[in-house]
Amino acid sequence: MGEKYVVPLKEAITGVLHGRAGTFRILIDEEISGAKHFSLLVNTMNAGVTGSEHKHDVEHCWYILSGQGTMFMAGKVFPLEPEMAVFAPAQMLHKIVVGPDEDLTYIVVYAPPGPEQQLKKLGEHAFDAPK
């Protein structure tokens, strides 16, 4: 278990987001900081990307830092832009479509932690549908 209480973005565990949609950066989790009840990431999805529809076993939320896009969740469509927060209950199918002109960068928090471990282990295939 780690004990890094302050983690610069350049020291994050970094890899390719599922579907090769962009980059994940894990800043806080149990391995890095000893956090047992949540994990915190900063992700960037590439301009023009349509993320794959998927769900997680845990609650999570996003806070949009830059860029624009569209969130598809609960049978509804929500615009995404900076200074917006989005909540997804556990097991909620969701998908993000990024606008064509600018990457979408956001903070994501998983509580309890878990999906970030799938990203570490499987990277671009972390949330593929079972075959």
Tell me the two tokens of residue 39.
Answer: 């994990």
CA–CA gap between residue 28 and residue 12 (Å, rounded): 8
Residue 118 lies in a domain: yes
> What pLDDT, on a 0 to 100 scale, did the predictor assign at position 130?
63
Q: What is the mean pLDDT of residues 116-120?
A: 87
pLDDT in tens, 46-67: 999 999 899 999 999 999 999 9
Residue 2 lies in a domain: no
Residue 1 lies in a domain: no
Q: What's the gap between Cα 84 and its chain centre?
A: 15
**DSSP secondary structure code for residue 123 in this structure:** G
Residue 45 lies in a domain: yes
Residue 130 lies in a domain: no
Tell me the two tokens of residue 126.
Answer: 């972390």
pLDDT in tens, 68-107: 999 999 999 999 999 999 999 999 999 999 999 999 999 9
Instruction: Give residues with Cβ within 8 angstroms of 15, minimum separation 6.
Output: 23, 24, 119, 120, 123, 124
Query: pTM of the full predicted structure?
Result: 0.91
Domain that holds residue 45: 9-125
CA–CA gap between residue 29 and residue 19 (Å, rounded): 23
